[in-house]
Chains A and B, each alone.
Chain A
Amino acid sequence: MNFLSDLILFIGSLFMFLAAVGLIRMPDMYTRLQAGTKAATLGSIAMILGIWVLHPEWSAKLLLIIFFILLTSPVGSSTIARSAFILGHIPWVKTSRDQETPS
């Protein structure tokens, strides 16, 4: 049981590290946004699941935290992307096509 919890924790922290590497390596603000947000969300949920294996009596609050992260992380990232698009950030050349007008 203990080893299973440690393994899930390690997988979660590996995804967090990959999120930070994507934050450094990606060429553009929008690609950095998706790398950081999605991988960090998966990593934190995996870490909280690992703690849940270790402490099953905390399951209500842990599920509340998971629900909260799943609720707020896409809202925050889409707000940042909307703000950047309104301010006229140009996407990376290889990802840009004909853009719609900012609303």
Chain B
Amino acid sequence: MSMLQILSLILIGSAVLLSLLRMLLGPTTHDRVVAADTIGVITTAGIVWIASYLNNEIYLDIALVYGALAFIGVVAIARALDSVRQGERE
């Protein structure tokens, strides 16, 4: 593993840690949802990197399914939040 690859792995790890910090101390629920969305996109690219590192093509399918599930989770949480509020109004 070359030096540039180690450096990029350190950058990805610190990006996930900073997003987790925002998820921990975000003042509102939407900040936490935004942090979860960012972690999902970063993790999708990370799984693609793992597929290259292990030289195994099956991890690309895992990355695709992970991205789909993260997207569905974020949209479900956002819709659930505003539907709760609309239910209160009526």
Contacts and interface: CB of A to CB of B under 8 A. Distances in A.
Contacts of A68: 64, 67-68
Contacts, number: 162
Interface residues of A, number: 50
Main secondary structure of the interface of A (DSSP, over half): helix
A38 B37 CA distance: 11
Q: Which are the 8 A-B pairs with shortest beta-carbon distances?
A: A44-B45, A20-B18, A13-B8, A20-B15, A36-B38, A72-B71, A13-B11, A6-B4
Interface of B: 2, 4-5, 7-9, 11-12, 14-19, 21-22, 28, 30-31, 33-35, 37-38, 41-42, 44-45, 48-49, 51-52, 57, 60-61, 63-64, 67-68, 71, 74-75, 78-79, 81-82, 85-86
